[in-house]
Amino acid sequence: MILLSACTSPTIGPSEDYMIFDDVRYVKDFPIDITLSDAQDTGFDIIGLTSFQIIDSVLFASCNTKDGFWQFYSLEDGKLLGKMLNIGQGPNEFLMPIYDSNQYSIQKENDKLYAYIFSRGSVYRLDITETIVNEKLSMILLSQDLSKSILAFNTLNSNTFLCKEPIENRTKLNRYVQHNGEITIPEPLEKLNRAKISETDNLINMNILATSLRRQKDYVLETPIYLNYFNLYSLDGKLSLTICTDDKLQSISSILEKPNEERLYTFPGCKIFDKFFGVVSYKHTWQEWMNNIERKSQLQFFDWNGKPLANIDLNRFVSAFDIDFTNGYLYVLTQREDEFVKYDIKDFLTKLNAVLK
């Protein structure tokens, strides 16, 4: 009798070592692939700019300043439309500037701009339009019953919130939906919640699990800063997709084995749009970033089904970006070099619209 034995590799799926879904897609090629090098100055000289967003003809700037750390400008003439939100101990003041996009979301509702802001367990609803028109802060408190340790937050409606916070001595991240104080964990969130790091005393290692969280209608996008993949899903489970832009997935344990300076800095930014989303792909080591050895970034665009659309090579490190669709410009912030520039992408947008159809 001849005894035959077979060696099989363990199936990679949602687990402590992989913050993924069962459906993993590997993307290396894009229908559109271009390089942009002719950057123009935006004409905006905004002190302490940390992040920004373009909403129709308005430029929103989040700044690292004490008073008026949220600022709004006209894209047409550069005029300051209004400043709001201050640092302080008084009512409707904050202990620190709100510049992390995981702490707020800006939405257009009935032709008015609103912001939902999370700070120290409380959620505020800011009427941006009314504040600018009346030159008086219009903000109300929606909730005070959220955990103060939440790292990422998004408002589903006025009493329902998507949250993410560290648990188990900061070795895991727990995603959940809180509705009127009641917590539920839909299946897509439970799968991502399985990921875990082994070391509990190093906050740098916790960053392996950290992701930027963005929502567009029914879809949620999560992009990490160390993993070589990102996740796209809907809370109802109809979509749960992991997109890897390399040949194979990188495990959490393999990253833990490397010192921080040798870990790849993968997706430092993302941006959502109505029909598609974009991620900043860097993929150079943290040491290269700190020493400014390699500045090149790519902007990679996908539709909301995960289909690759376009890749843009840029000659600089990108910390934030957005698109002015009206005038056909790509705005890019390079925070390290304090650059705020724009590129003419009218031809690119024409090609992108053709791919989207």
Per-residue pLDDT of 129-174, as tens digits, reads 999 999 999 999 999 999 999 999 999 988 999 999 999 989 999 9
Average pLDDT over residues 108-127: 95
Look at residue 26 in the predicted model and tell me its pLDDT. 97
pLDDT tier, 77 (very low <50, low <70, confident <90, very high otherwise) = very high
Per-residue pLDDT tens for 2-27?
333 333 335 789 999 999 999 999 99
Look at residue 5 in the predicted model and tell me its pLDDT. 34
Percent of the chain with pLDDT over 90: 81
Percent of the chain with pLDDT over 70: 96
Say whether pLDDT at 355 is over 70.
Answer: yes
Q: Could you tell me if 215 and 157 are in contact, meaning their C-beta atoms sit under 8 angstroms apart?
A: no
Contacts of residues 281-285 at CB distance under 8 Å and 24 or more positions apart, as own/partner, are: 281/245, 282/317, 282/318, 283/228, 285/261
Look at residue 16 in the predicted model and tell me its pLDDT. 96
Nearest to 284 by CA among 311, 251, 310, 317: 317
Look at residue 50 in the predicted model and tell me its pLDDT. 93
Say how far apart CA 304 and CA 167 lie, in whole Å.
Answer: 30
- Residue 155 CB contacts under 8 Å (≥ 6 apart), including other chains: 105, 116, 123, 161, 162
Cβ–Cβ contacts within 10 Å for residue 218, how many?
12
Nearest to 278 by CA among 337, 356, 164: 356
Per-residue pLDDT tens for 279-307?
999 988 878 877 777 678 999 999 999 99
Say how far apart CA 211 and CA 223 lie, in whole Å.
Answer: 5
Q: What angle do CA 25, 301, 157 make, to 5 degrees?
A: 90
- Residue 129 CB contacts under 8 Å (≥ 6 apart), including other chains: 112, 113, 114
Say how far apart CA 313 and CA 22 lie, in whole Å.
Answer: 30
The domain defined by 24-356 folds into: Neuraminidase (2.120.10)
- Residue 175 CB contacts under 8 Å (≥ 6 apart), including other chains: 162, 163, 164, 185, 189, 192, 193
The letter for the amino acid at 186 is P
Look at residue 24 in the predicted model and tell me its pLDDT. 97
Q: How far apart are the first and last CA of the chain?
A: 61
Cβ–Cβ contacts within 10 Å for residue 234, how many?
17
Q: Could you tell me if 42 and 73 are in contact, meaning their C-beta atoms sit under 8 angstroms apart?
A: no
pLDDT tier, 201 (very low <50, low <70, confident <90, very high otherwise) = low
Q: How many residues does the chain have?
A: 357
Pull the structure tokens for residue 121. 């367990």
Mean residue pLDDT across the chain? 92
Look at residue 240 in the predicted model and tell me its pLDDT. 97
Work out whether strand 182-184 and strand 172-179 pair parallel, antiparallel, or are unpaired.
antiparallel
pLDDT tier, 357 (very low <50, low <70, confident <90, very high otherwise) = confident
pTM: 0.93
Look at residue 294 in the predicted model and tell me its pLDDT. 66
Cβ–Cβ contacts within 10 Å for residue 125, how many?
16
